[in-house]
Amino acid sequence: MPKDAPPSDSESERKTSSEVMTTGNNSDIPITAEQTDAVEQSKKSRISAKKVDADFEELSRKYFRIVSLGEKKPVFLPLELRDSLEKLARVSGVPNLAPSHIVINILKAFFDDNRELINRKLSGEKLRI
Protein backbone atom coordinates (compact mmCIF):
# COMPACT_ATOMS: atom_id res chain seq x y z
CA MET A 1 0.00 0.00 0.00
CA PRO A 2 1.50 3.39 -0.96
CA LYS A 3 2.30 5.91 1.75
CA ASP A 4 0.51 8.75 -0.12
CA ALA A 5 -2.96 7.16 0.05
CA PRO A 6 -5.00 8.30 3.06
CA PRO A 7 -6.22 5.45 5.24
CA SER A 8 -9.88 6.64 5.12
CA ASP A 9 -10.13 6.27 1.34
CA SER A 10 -11.64 2.78 1.41
CA GLU A 11 -15.11 2.22 -0.08
CA SER A 12 -16.63 1.10 3.22
CA GLU A 13 -15.64 4.28 5.06
CA ARG A 14 -16.93 6.85 2.52
CA LYS A 15 -20.50 8.08 2.94
CA THR A 16 -22.65 10.30 0.80
CA SER A 17 -24.96 12.90 2.30
CA SER A 18 -27.98 10.63 1.71
CA GLU A 19 -26.31 7.85 3.66
CA VAL A 20 -25.70 9.95 6.76
CA MET A 21 -28.08 8.56 9.34
CA THR A 22 -29.01 9.26 12.89
CA THR A 23 -30.26 6.74 15.35
CA GLY A 24 -33.44 7.09 17.38
CA ASN A 25 -33.53 6.95 21.16
CA ASN A 26 -33.17 3.41 22.49
CA SER A 27 -33.25 2.02 18.97
CA ASP A 28 -30.75 0.09 16.93
CA ILE A 29 -32.64 0.87 13.71
CA PRO A 30 -31.13 3.82 11.86
CA ILE A 31 -33.54 6.64 10.99
CA THR A 32 -32.90 8.94 8.05
CA ALA A 33 -33.40 12.69 8.29
CA GLU A 34 -36.28 12.46 5.81
CA GLN A 35 -38.15 10.02 8.09
CA THR A 36 -37.84 12.28 11.12
CA ASP A 37 -39.07 15.26 9.08
CA ALA A 38 -42.11 13.23 7.98
CA VAL A 39 -42.93 12.27 11.57
CA GLU A 40 -42.65 15.87 12.75
CA GLN A 41 -44.77 17.08 9.83
CA SER A 42 -47.54 14.55 10.48
CA LYS A 43 -47.74 15.64 14.11
CA LYS A 44 -48.13 19.27 13.05
CA SER A 45 -50.80 18.52 10.46
CA ARG A 46 -53.15 16.56 12.71
CA ILE A 47 -56.68 17.91 12.74
CA SER A 48 -58.95 17.49 15.73
CA ALA A 49 -62.23 15.61 15.47
CA LYS A 50 -64.11 18.82 16.33
CA LYS A 51 -62.45 20.61 13.41
CA VAL A 52 -63.28 17.74 11.05
CA ASP A 53 -66.92 17.80 12.21
CA ALA A 54 -67.12 21.58 11.79
CA ASP A 55 -65.63 21.41 8.29
CA PHE A 56 -68.03 18.60 7.34
CA GLU A 57 -70.98 20.65 8.65
CA GLU A 58 -69.90 23.56 6.45
CA LEU A 59 -69.65 21.21 3.48
CA SER A 60 -73.08 19.80 4.31
CA ARG A 61 -74.69 23.24 4.39
CA LYS A 62 -73.22 24.07 1.01
CA TYR A 63 -73.71 20.84 -0.94
CA PHE A 64 -75.88 18.37 0.99
CA ARG A 65 -79.36 19.78 0.63
CA ILE A 66 -82.30 18.47 -1.30
CA VAL A 67 -83.22 20.47 -4.39
CA SER A 68 -86.01 20.02 -6.88
CA LEU A 69 -84.91 17.88 -9.78
CA GLY A 70 -87.55 19.31 -12.13
CA GLU A 71 -87.46 17.57 -15.48
CA LYS A 72 -85.05 14.70 -15.31
CA LYS A 73 -82.49 13.68 -17.88
CA PRO A 74 -79.93 10.96 -17.28
CA VAL A 75 -76.36 11.94 -16.51
CA PHE A 76 -73.86 9.12 -16.46
CA LEU A 77 -71.24 8.84 -13.75
CA PRO A 78 -68.61 6.18 -13.16
CA LEU A 79 -69.87 3.59 -10.69
CA GLU A 80 -67.03 4.33 -8.25
CA LEU A 81 -68.00 8.02 -8.14
CA ARG A 82 -71.68 7.19 -7.69
CA ASP A 83 -70.81 4.85 -4.80
CA SER A 84 -68.77 7.61 -3.16
CA LEU A 85 -71.67 10.05 -3.53
CA GLU A 86 -74.06 7.50 -2.00
CA LYS A 87 -71.73 7.10 1.01
CA LEU A 88 -71.61 10.88 1.42
CA ALA A 89 -75.39 11.08 1.24
CA ARG A 90 -75.69 8.41 3.96
CA VAL A 91 -73.24 10.02 6.38
CA SER A 92 -74.59 13.54 5.80
CA GLY A 93 -77.57 12.95 8.06
CA VAL A 94 -79.94 14.60 5.56
CA PRO A 95 -82.98 12.36 5.07
CA ASN A 96 -83.75 11.36 1.46
CA LEU A 97 -80.56 12.96 0.12
CA ALA A 98 -79.55 11.31 -3.15
CA PRO A 99 -76.30 11.46 -5.12
CA SER A 100 -78.17 13.50 -7.75
CA HIS A 101 -78.81 16.27 -5.20
CA ILE A 102 -75.11 16.46 -4.35
CA VAL A 103 -74.13 16.63 -8.03
CA ILE A 104 -76.72 19.36 -8.70
CA ASN A 105 -75.45 21.46 -5.78
CA ILE A 106 -71.82 21.05 -6.85
CA LEU A 107 -72.63 22.03 -10.43
CA LYS A 108 -74.70 25.03 -9.32
CA ALA A 109 -71.77 26.22 -7.19
CA PHE A 110 -69.43 25.73 -10.15
CA PHE A 111 -71.68 27.79 -12.43
CA ASP A 112 -72.08 30.50 -9.78
CA ASP A 113 -68.31 30.75 -9.36
CA ASN A 114 -67.59 30.81 -13.10
CA ARG A 115 -70.72 32.43 -14.56
CA GLU A 116 -69.01 35.57 -15.86
CA LEU A 117 -66.24 33.68 -17.66
CA ILE A 118 -68.66 31.16 -19.17
CA ASN A 119 -71.03 33.91 -20.36
CA ARG A 120 -68.11 35.78 -21.97
CA LYS A 121 -67.10 32.61 -23.79
CA LEU A 122 -70.70 32.05 -24.91
CA SER A 123 -71.26 35.71 -25.86
CA GLY A 124 -71.54 34.87 -29.57
CA GLU A 125 -73.96 32.04 -28.81
CA LYS A 126 -77.64 32.36 -27.97
CA LEU A 127 -76.99 30.53 -24.74
CA ARG A 128 -76.41 32.01 -21.31
CA ILE A 129 -76.20 30.35 -17.93
Residues forming beta bridges with residue 31, ordered by sequence position? 22
> pLDDT tens-digit profile of 1-60?
555 555 555 444 455 444 444 444 555 555 565 655 555 555 667 888 898 888 888 888
> pLDDT tens-digit profile of 52-81?
888 888 888 888 888 888 888 888 999 999
pLDDT at 77: 94
By the 10 Å C-beta count (0-12 exposed, 13-18 middle, 19+ buried), 48 is classed as exposed
Rg (CA), the chain: 29
